[in-house]
Amino acid sequence: MGNFVHKPVLVTESIEGLQVRRDGWYIDCTIGTGGHAEAILGRCAPGGHLLGIDADLEAIRAAAERLKHYDGSFILAQDNFRYLEDICNRFGSRPVNGILFDLGMSTLQLEDRNRGFSFQHDSSLDMRFSPEQELTAADIVNTFPEEALAGILHSYGEERRSRQIARQIVQSRPLRSTGELVQVVQRVIRVRHKIHAATRTFQALRIAVNKELENLELALEQAVDILDLGGRLVVISFHSLEDRLVKGFLRREAQGCLCPPGTAVCVCGHSPTLKLITKKAIRPSLDEVRANPRSRSARLRVAERIALGVEIEIGN
């Protein structure tokens, strides 16, 4: 791990979105190497506290080292944020004043040649956030039926040539490394100017291995219940699938009745739980993108917990 330091994205905007205060309780659901957590603690400590969660043990170790000068003000939990409510109950940290999700892959993970997240290195087809998970990318590419593979590549990678790639994968089995998978994809996609030919395939497999969208939806639902009134929820996403899920969830929780249009009498009983603070996603500045090119796809959204029954105008 060495002296590796990950550069967090939209730090100032995150702190402003959370409205971090000196005595507050905050949760960083994807603490990574601790960049955002360090900024939160810099604003809320002493007196405030932070619970940091990450499924990746190496990330937890990196965060512990980075945050050691805030000893006593933070707790770290190696766990999946899909169990957010249980984790909070375990450490007695509810209700809280702010919750942050930074959904991007850390450079620490991408640069680890043993994890299989990057198509830039030839390594094992793993892609698990935690070694405790059973399913690996190798399991998917070597055992899933062609139709199921194509569905994963289309749904999670938005790959237009998903069927052709799935067919090539099945015909090339067994695949043992990321390098072999890249070669298979490049037989189908010979030229792609804007992004690497294997980008969408690797994204799709990583999402499938870690159940990222399913876990995110579960965690967002729990986050609403954990937030104190006036508490802020901040989510940073890095691709359209995540951002659509987050945007849809926040808009749904910011409105009342969810019954289909034309329903004479409301039968859903839904009440608003959130107020949208950002009507549109916040993007990194040009200066940040120049300094950290990996930030260019980031989208930040903010919402605030409100009392049930409060009517909120959503807008466009």
Question: What DSSP letter does each residue of the chain carry, written as one string?
Answer: -TT-----SSHHHHHHHHT--TT-EEEETT-TTSHHHHHHHHHHTTT-EEEEEES-HHHHHHHHHHTGGGTTSEEEEES-GGGHHHHHHHHT--SEEEEEEE-SPPHHHHH-TTT---TTS--BS---SSTT----HHHHHHHS-HHHHHHHHHHHH--TTHHHHHHHHHHT----BHHHHHHHHHHH----SSS-TTHHHHHHHHHHHHTHHHHHHHHHHHHHHHEEEEEEEEEEE-SHHHHHHHHHHHHHHTSS--SPTT-SS--S-----EEES-SS-B---HHHHHH-GGGTT-EEEEEEE--TT-------
Can you give the pLDDT at residue 1?
A: 43
Tens digits of residue pLDDT in 238-275: 999 999 999 999 999 999 888 888 787 888 878 899 99
Rounded Cα distance, 93 and 76, in Å: 12
Can you give the pLDDT at residue 273?
A: 96
Can you give the pLDDT at residue 140?
A: 98
Q: Which CATH architecture has domain 11-108+212-305?
A: 3-Layer(aba) Sandwich (3.40)
**Degrees (nearest 5) of the Cα angle 263, 265, 271?**
100
Tens digits of residue pLDDT in 74-125: 999 999 999 999 999 999 878 999 999 999 787 778 778 888 899 988 999 9
What six digits make up the tokens of 278? 């950002």
Considering only the C-alpha atoms of the chain, give the largest distance between any 2 of them, rounded to a whole number of Å.
Answer: 63
**Do the Cβ atoms of 17 and 45 come closer than 8 Å?**
no
What six digits make up the tokens of 139? 């399991």
**Do the Cβ atoms of 59 and 33 come closer than 8 Å?**
yes
Can you give the pLDDT at residue 5?
A: 55
What six digits make up the tokens of 71? 């000893």
**Degrees (nearest 5) of the Cα angle 241, 245, 250?**
150
pTM of the full structure? 0.92
Low-confidence ranges of the chain (pLDDT < 70): 1-6, 192, 309-316
Can you give the pLDDT at residue 114?
A: 81
Can you give the pLDDT at residue 206?
A: 96
Can you give the pLDDT at residue 310?
A: 55
Q: Where are the domains of the chain?
A: 11-108+212-305, 115-210
Can you give the pLDDT at residue 101?
A: 98
Rounded Cα distance, 125 and 209, in Å: 11
Q: Which fold has domain 115-210?
A: DNA polymerase; domain 1 (1.10.150)
Can you give the pLDDT at residue 259?
A: 83
